[in-house]
Structure 1
Amino acid sequence: MALSSDSWRGLAIATFILLGWIISVCLHEFGHAVVAYWGGDQTVKDKGYLTLNPLKYSDFSYSLIYPLFFLMLGGIALPGAAVYINTWLLRSRLWQSAVSAAGPLATALVAVLLSHPFRLGLSSENWFWTALACLTSLQVVALCFNLLPVPSLDGFGILEPWLPRSWQPSLRQWRRYGFLALIVILWTVPVAQQVFWGFVGTISRELGVPPDLMATGYSLFHQSSRLLFVVVLVIVLIFRKLLSRPQSTDASDTQSLEAKLAAYDQAIASKKPTTADLWFGKGCILGELKRYQEAVESYDRALELQPKNPESCWLNRAIALYEIGRDEEAVESYEQALKLKTPSPDDWYFYGLMLSGLDRYEDAINSYKRALETKPEDAEIWYQQGQALYWLGQQDDAIASYDKAVYLQPEFAQAWFRRGLVFNQLQQFPRALKSFEQALKIQADSPAVLAAKGFTLMQLDQYEDAITAHEQSVEIDPNDAHAWYNKACCHAHQGQVSPAIESLKQAVQLNPEPTREIAIDDPDFEELHQEPAFRKLIY
């Protein structure tokens, strides 16, 4: 059936607004990214954010889930976007605020630019001016909404760096809910609606946008946008999936590297004497091919020819040595590289990891401290420092480092887990249990955390809950002898002889001699010693 003229008009308005909106969202996110780049987060370039390509900014929640949610509620469905900034790389709190402010500033500039024709009195009642008025008004809505000081929005991001640090962990917990909570308030609280939309209307009129065109544009867009929006989203998601497929590192890539390697070999053979640069380049190619032993030999040859080789040769040599298990030599090579450059926080961090691998925990801690001097908000460094302190037996200091890690990154499941293990060692079982429960909120299917939780519950005499935790653990990882053993202990405490022996049998099958040696003197099995099945299994 042919579309009426009103339908075609509505479709044209919806298409114009949707395309204009996508461009404005890209400008908004580009504003965040470029200011972050200026402020010290160079990773935005590697992530592809310094572009106006909408596929680089698409986000599952903001581009699909929320718009469809608004559609179902009868509202306007417009895709959003997101960029992910490493705020700890930014030079100061001022830069952090500037990054958050950059997006709304871009939106404000778009609104001013779009409204300029109206201020010149150029509007009429055709579809173009109706669509332009609606699009301009939507920019004002986006600007006012984003500047609200609610966690996850830019308005909060501007203020957050200046808030007391003690507030920030609690406020971070609200990031995942702040956006939806605000939507619910604006949707259901009449006073909030009146204030917000009244403010939007005032700014739009100040910009010269005719209210009648705004209302008409909104109505026609709402009628025609649903099908158009869904079609565009499907196309965007399909293209995004195609473009985001990982490039295969198959035979063609290997052949390309082998060809480069052959070219280096030919160049080395033809030059008398051979330059250090050729041996270094050959080492890099061998490293990409994971032929680390040969890579080390190439780097050694480069260093023979040029002992004061740039630090990159020493660094690459250290990595290759590390990969083949020559840890001591890797550390020595890395130390040579550090002498030739001004070490970055990442250099100190990686150096700490290498030292930890050699059980040189005190040196590793000193290296992590150097990294934290300029990267104090890196949760991973705090976590690794906690690990080194743990292995040194400094449990209180280890807990302090884990606390810092989870303060900076509340979703850091491994840090919560390690924190719980230390509390178990200190026999502070209620605190350990809280840590394990927090870890399981983040990673519910971790058998190690479930087993640790079961052990802790057993120490608290909560045997039924402990059995449940161990059952969940061995269901995921049936080869964990410790989980089976502790499950047997819980059954024994409950007087459940057959389940206890059955679980113990599983532990013995997985780890025979150590399990038997422990079980013989374990008071948890005192009541089972007279059971023939137990004696047959253990003795």
Structure 2
Amino acid sequence: MENFLAFNLQEMPFVIISLVIAFTVHEFAHAYAAYLCGDSTAKDQGRLTLSPVAHLDPIGTILLLIAGFGWARPVPVDRRNFKRPHLYSILVSIAGPLSNILIAIIGVIIFYALFSTGVVDSVPEKGVDFIDKMINMLVYLNVLLFVFNLLPIPPLDGYRVLEDLAPNRIRAKMIQYEHIGVIIFLILIITPLDRYTIYPIFNTIVPYVANLVDSLIRPFFESGI
């Protein structure tokens, strides 16, 4: 059975909890940013919430566990409600990935706080192991989603940012041919080409970002601040 899963069975509880948190906060961040920028579309549709039920897509979540890629329900945004459509659309787009890196940062802080203060000293060994694995999975998956969603490929957030940075004439062409980009994206993800495209990015940038976050936070606990 494990051969059909992107993660092994022992990791599944940590993966599921981490993904529920990551997807929910990511989509909430999009909705909240849009609301702050003047668009209440997501709020009116019940998406301005931290309830996972409002954001998780059953098929997208199952595929992520089985195939290693998936999605949550996209937050509806009506850029016509923005006073500055290009700027506010960029802010809404990057809000999701930024929420994921924020979760990773909080996870690292909690990890060092628990272990450096001795809070876990009285916790049974199995409990300490659970905390260690849970936080590490939470940090890893949120860093991965941060990096992944910033790729300039449709339909990812990085592509939305690129669209709004482009001149109107070029942006119109990008929208016109976006469906082709989505097809190319799927080919890169679900075929052996992923080992030459997506995974080299994950295997280099994700560990780099995770180590960077760790190296920025660890000194505060080592110095006793």
Give yes or no for TM over 0.5. yes
Residue 160 in structure 1 maps to residue 163 in structure 2: yes
- Cα deviations by residue, 1:131-188 (Å, 9 ceiling, x for unpaired): 3212211111100010111222111212322312222233124444535533533551
Matched residues in 2 for 1:166 and 1:36: separation? 24
Cα drift, residue 42 of structure 1: 2.1
TM-aligned CA deviation for residue 200 of structure 1: 0.6
Residue in structure 2 matched with residue 198 of structure 1 by the alignment? 204
SS of the counterpart of 2:168?
Answer: coil
Distance 2:53 2:157 in 1: 21
1:110 aligns with 2:115: no
Structure 1 residues 36, 188: CA separation in 2 closer, same or farther (over 3 Å shift)?
same
Percent identical among aligned pairs is: 27
Q: Indicate the residue corresponding to 2:221 in structure 1.
A: none
Aligned to 2:92: 99
Correspondence for 2:140 among 131, 137, 140: 137
1:129-528 map, 5 Å = 129-179=132-182, 181-185=184-188, 187-192=192-197, 193-208=199-214
Instruction: Tell me, in whole angstroms, the C-alpha distance in 2 between the residues paired with 1:184 and 1:157.
Output: 20
Structure 2 residue 88 is matched with structure 1 residue 83: no
| Aligned mates of 2:186, 2:138 — CA distance in 1 | 20
Residues 151 and 172 of structure 1 are in contact (CA less than 8 Å); yes or no, is this contact kept in structure 2?
no
SS of the aligned residue for 1:105 comes to: helix
Equivalent residue letter for 1:91: K
Q: Structure 1 counterpart of 2:77, which letter?
A: I
Deviates more, 1:170-179 or 1:106-115: 170-179
1:479-518 deviation line (CA, Å, top 9, x unaligned): xxxxxxxxxxxxxxxxxxxxxxxxxxxxxxxxxxxxxxxx
Deviation at 1:26, TM superposition (A): 1.3
Match of 1:41 among 39, 42, 51: 39
8 Å CA contact 2:111, 2:135 repeated in 1:
no
Which aligned segments of 4 or more residues in structure 1 are displaced greater than 3 angstroms?
10-13, 75-79, 117-121, 173-180
The 3 A distance-change label for structure 1 pair 130 and 177 is: farther
TM-score (norm 1): 0.33
Secondary structure in structure 2 of the residue aligned to 1:207: helix
Deviations 1:412-459 (A, max 9, x none): xxxxxxxxxxxxxxxxxxxxxxxxxxxxxxxxxxxxxxxxxxxxxxxx
Q: Which amino acid aligns with 2:135?
A: L
Distance 1:69 1:99 in 2: 24
CA contact (8 A) 1:21 1:78 kept: no
Alpha-carbon distance change, 85 to 110 in structure 1, aligned in 2, over 3 angstroms: same
Report the Cα offset of residue 29 of structure 1: 0.9
| Unaligned stretches of 5+ residues in structure 2 | 1-7, 216-225
Contact 2:97 2:146 in 1 (8 A): yes
Contact 2:154 2:185 in 1 (8 A): no
What is residue 312 of structure 1 aligned with on the other side? none
Shift of 1:189: 4.9
SS of alignment partner, residue 138 of structure 2:
helix
Counterpart-to-counterpart distance in 1, 2:12 and 2:153: 30
Deviation at 1:190, TM superposition (A): 4.0
Q: TM-score, normalised by structure 2?
A: 0.73
Is contact 1:149-1:159 (8 Å) kept?
yes
- Match of residue 501 from structure 1: none
Corresponding residue of 2:223: none
1:54 CA displacement: 2.0
Counterpart-to-counterpart distance in 1, 2:177 and 2:148:
17
Secondary structure of the residue aligned to 1:81 is: coil
Paired with 1:189 and 1:58, the residues of 2 have a C-alpha distance of 25
Paired with 1:43 and 1:14, the residues of 2 have a C-alpha distance of 34
Q: Which residue of 1 aligns with 2:220?
A: none
Closer, same or farther: CA 149–16 of 1 in aligned 2, 3 Å:
same
Match in the other structure for 1:50:
48
Look at both structures and tell me which one has the larger radius of gyration over its CA atoms.
Answer: 1
Question: How far apart, in 2, do the equivalents of 1:167 and 1:66 lie?
Answer: 34
- Give the Cα separation in 1 of the matches to 2:181 and 2:154: 5
Q: 1:131 to 1:28 in 2, by over 3 A?
A: same
Aligned partner letter, 1:89: N
Residues 180 and 146 of structure 1, relative CA distance in 2, 3 Å threshold: farther
Q: 1:55 to 1:173 in 2, by over 3 A?
A: farther
SS at 2:173 equivalent: helix
Contact 1:28 1:106 survives alignment (8 Å):
yes
Which deviates more from structure 2 when the two are superposed, residues 50-59 or residues 181-190?
181-190
Residue 52 of structure 1, CA deviation: 1.1
The superposition leaves residues 271-328 of structure 1 with CA deviations (integer Å, 9 ceiling, x where unpaired) of: xxxxxxxxxxxxxxxxxxxxxxxxxxxxxxxxxxxxxxxxxxxxxxxxxxxxxxxxxx
Instruction: Tell me the CA shift for residue 81 of structure 1.
Output: 2.7
Deviation at 1:35, TM superposition (A): 1.3
AA aligned opposite 1:83: V
Q: Deviations over 1:183-220 (max 9, x none)?
A: 533551544332332111111222339xxxxxxxxxxx
In the superposition, relative to structure 1, how do residues 195 and 153 fare at CA in structure 2: closer, same or farther (>3 Å)?
A: closer
